[in-house]
Chain A
Amino acid sequence: MNKKSNLLLPFLLIAGTTLLMTMYILFIRELIYLAYQGKAPDWFNAIVQNFYPRFIVEKNRFDLAFFLAKADQVIIRFSVITLSGSLLLILYKRSEKLKAKLNLFWNQSSSLQNIRALRVLFFSSLIIIFHDVYFDLIALGKAKVFYKPILPLNFLGIGFPSDSIILILYISFIVSCLLCILNFKPILFSIITILDFILIQAFIFSFEKTDHGFVTFTYAGMILPFLLYEYEKAKQNQSEVKGWPLQLICTCICICYLLTGLEKIFISQLDWLHPDTLRAYLELHQAPLGLKVASNDFICSLLPALVLIFQLGFISILFNKKMKWVFLPAGILFHTGSYMLLNVGGFLNPWILGYLFFIDWGNLPLRKKPHNSDYAFFSFL
């Protein structure tokens, strides 16, 4: 009975997925056709507007097949995720070896020095990447007639902030970052910092354009208060820090890379590897170095393959720590290359700064030197 109830959830997931796929093939595909023609029922148009607001713009640029392919994507992705999740769940319930491995993965501990250094580096990086956000928000304020609040702001009825509120948000962000660096009530101020960070991003993204540059830092920041809580607990007990939040941060960053790679495969299949795809992007963005690369067939064939290997392979860091010495430098090259070839991001890319979570700062060779100033600095904080 117990074993049966253990397997109930995965089997329910499998049955639910099968039912959804059947309904999609029989009814939902037809509704998408009607939405494209402008003849779908209001309730379906409302769903489309909420989940895919760009539909109304993009239907002027793409044909029906493009949107049907997108809907197919949702169903395929949902099925792949739920079916593989169910399979993993069944394996987890049945295999003691897998259970032990997963427990080991999440229960790795970390040194106090490492978390202390991470705290200082993370909040310092936040100040660096958002140091000029006050001026960005003030500039956006001039164009606030175009303010179109994204879902949480829309839901809460929050309008674009006045200049004085922007100043308060900015000062509270910088001050709470500094207090975290100085280890003054770090749990409380890390929560304030990340809420501030998310709110500021929400205002910036409410002008119809999303910047993916801060995504890994945002996810890391959402988990960081838990890591600092474990740090405080370990400090009191003079023990190692429970490392599950750090593992979760690293897992989130790896999944981000995996998903960017999978997006390319799901959307463009192997066409993404065709040199013309990269060439088209390079010509679209008109970066001087990108235009030079666009004229070289060999590089246009090689780079997309390397990018896919990098994005899909990055997650291997989680299973083999030595791989970080391959993938972290590759990541620096990837993001710097994206900036130079496509004018995307900058040299100081928050995705690169996210790599600081993969380095064990408490176990760097420089620590072995007793009078090393870097180590002394982190110890003081």
Chain B
Amino acid sequence: MLAGIIIPFILLTDIFPFLRLGMFAEPVKKETQKELFQVSYIDINNKETVLDSKSIGIEPHFFLYLARNHYYRNESEKFIVKISEISAQKNIKEWQIKKIIIPLEKGTRPDTTVVYRKPI
């Protein structure tokens, strides 16, 4: 039992059900910007709508976490395919993932980039 608790500490990883307890231990730099991800779709009337993650049963913070993980793994396409599978939206022409950088300094505007497009 004690070995089970200590091994994740040594290997810096979880070996479920034994978990590494490295919460808040990583060095952090003062954030100057906040990073968000947004999924939107364009319908056949060219109307763009931002996807509400709750409409597909995913809490917003969890959705953001998944989007970020997929983006940094270069799996944005996979992410969009999965989203389109569980979304009930019809007549969609294109799916998009946008990365939004919000500077924490007051008076500066967010910078939005489309990081992935998937035409249907």
Contact = CB atoms under 8 A, between A and B. Distances in A.
- B is a partner of A: yes
Contact of B10 (A58, A81, A145, A277): A81
Given A263-B22, A267-B22, A283-B30, A139 B57 contact: yes
A259 B1 contact: no
A12 B6 CA distance: 20
Nearest to A263: B25
Contact of A146 (B9, B12, B17, B82): B82
Contacts of B111: none
Interface string A244-266: 00001001100110011011101
A61 interface: yes
Contact of A256 (B17, B21, B31, B73): B21
B23 A74 contact: no
A340 B90 CA distance: 42
A81 B1 contact: no
A121 interface: no
Interface string A20-41: 0000000000000000000000
Given A61-B72, A208-B66, A281 B28 contact: yes
A267 B56 contact: no
Interface in B54-79: 56-59, 62, 65-66, 69, 72-73
Contacts of A296: none
A57 B73 contact: yes
14 contacts: A77-B10, A77-B12, A143-B57, A202-B16, A210-B19, A215-B19, A255-B5, A256-B5, A259-B9, A264-B25, A267-B25, A267-B26, A277-B28, A284-B31
Nearest to B68: A57
Nearest to B30: A280
Contacts of A146: 58, 66, 82
Given A198-B17, A281-B24, 6 more contacts: A56-B73, A207-B62, A256-B5, A260-B21, A260-B23, A267-B26
A151 to B, nearest CB: 6
B86 A143 contact: yes
Given A74-B11, A78-B10, A139-B57, A280 B28 contact: yes
Interface in A133-180: 139, 141-143, 145-146, 150-152
B8 to A, nearest CB: 9
Interface residues of B, number: 40
Contacts of A344: 23
B66 A219 contact: no
B73 to A, nearest CB: 5
A342 B5 CA distance: 26
B2 A251 contact: yes
Interface of B: 1-2, 5-6, 9-17, 19-31, 56-59, 62, 65-66, 69, 72-73, 82, 85-86, 104
Interface stretch (A227-235, A268-276, A316-324, A352-360): A268-276
Contacts of A210: 14, 19
Given A205-B16, A272-B25, A277-B28, A142 B5 contact: no
Contacts of A60: 72
Which of B24, B27, B86 neighbours the largest number of chain A CB atoms within 10 Å of its CB? B24
Given A201-B17, A263-B25, A279-B30, A209 B62 contact: yes
A52 to B, nearest CB: 6
A51 interface: yes
A198 B18 CA distance: 10
A106 to B, nearest CB: 12
A267 B26 CA distance: 6
Given A51-B13, A57-B69, A219-B5, A142 B22 contact: no
Given A251-B2, A263-B9, A277-B28, A143 B58 contact: yes
A252 B1 contact: yes
A151 B16 contact: yes
Which of A58, A78, A146, A248 neighbours the largest number of chain B CB atoms within 10 Å of its CB? A146
Contacts of A83: none
Contacts of A139: 57, 59
B1 A51 contact: no
Contacts of B21: 212, 215, 256, 259-260, 263
